A and B are shown apart, each in its own frame.
Chain A
Amino acid sequence: TQLLEQSPQFLSIQEGENLTVYCNSSSVFSSLQWYRQEPGEGPVLLVTVVTGGEVKKLKRLTFQFGDARKDSSLHITAAQPGDTGLYLCAGARNAGNMLTFGGGTRLMVKP
């Protein structure tokens, strides 16, 4: 079992729909990052959350860090085909520690 479990693994939706991706663990993290990876490219950082209960918004994307710092969610409003990609969460147990990645959620947004 992975330290960080992402769900769902796959998601196929129509343009304009909303969606939420989850990243869960039984462990506490000092910080959590979300990356997006497009085909043929490496992951690119979207956001870092460090405070329990923190909410960050990036245009149509809303990221939340759980109060206990064990889980996080990514909500996309009015998804667009350009949102298609692999979304990865990654957590650090302590500041300066290596990141542990979740298994990823592969999102496809159909026009």
Chain B
Amino acid sequence: DADVTQTPRNRITKTGKRIMLECSQTKGHDRMYWYRQDPGLGLRLIYYSFDVKDINKGEISDGYSVSRQAQAKFSLSLESAIPNQTALYFCATSLGGKGTGELFFGEGSRLTVL
């Protein structure tokens, strides 16, 4: 079983709909992240959380919100989806501490907004 699990893996929705992508992890890591991947742009950080009570905006947080329900769960919401939010979304985890450690990624959630 994957250490970082994302659901759903694929979703097609319409403009204006509310969408939630969920992430759960069994690695015991404190830090969790949501990234968006678009061709040629690499991975861009949407939101991150260093512990259950900590939520921080990344470089492209507009149009998104998150919830850290527990150490192991971090969900991403699109309140009113728009076509340019069509992308591959990744959840990731890392250990805490001073260094910039390894990121462990889920398998991704492909979202298409029509």
Contacts and interface: CB of A to CB of B under 8 A. Distances in A.
Interface of A: 2, 4, 6, 9, 30-31, 33, 35, 40-45, 48, 88, 90, 92, 95-99, 101-104
A42 B43 CA distance: 11
Contact of A96 (B43, B100, B107): B100
A73 to B, nearest CB: 17
Interface of B: 4, 40-45, 48, 58, 90, 92, 97-100, 102-103, 105-108
A95 B42 contact: no
A110 to B, nearest CB: 21
A38 to B, nearest CB: 10
Contacts of B43: 43, 88, 90, 101
Contact of B103 (A2, A96, A99): A99
B105 to A, nearest CB: 3
A40 B42 CA distance: 15
A45 B108 CA distance: 16
28 contacts: A4-B42, A30-B100, A33-B100, A33-B102, A33-B103, A35-B103, A40-B107, A40-B108, A41-B108, A42-B90, A42-B92, A42-B105, A42-B106, A43-B90, A43-B105, A44-B105, A88-B42, A88-B43, A92-B100, A95-B99, A95-B100, A96-B98, A97-B100, A98-B48, A98-B58, A99-B100, A101-B42, A102-B42
B108 A42 contact: yes
Nearest to B45: A98
The residue in B42, B44, B45, B108 that gathers the most chain A C-beta atoms within 10 A of its C-beta is B42
Nearest to A45: B102
A42 B98 contact: no
Contacts of A44: 105
A26 to B, nearest CB: 17
B67 to A, nearest CB: 20
Contacts of A95: 98-100
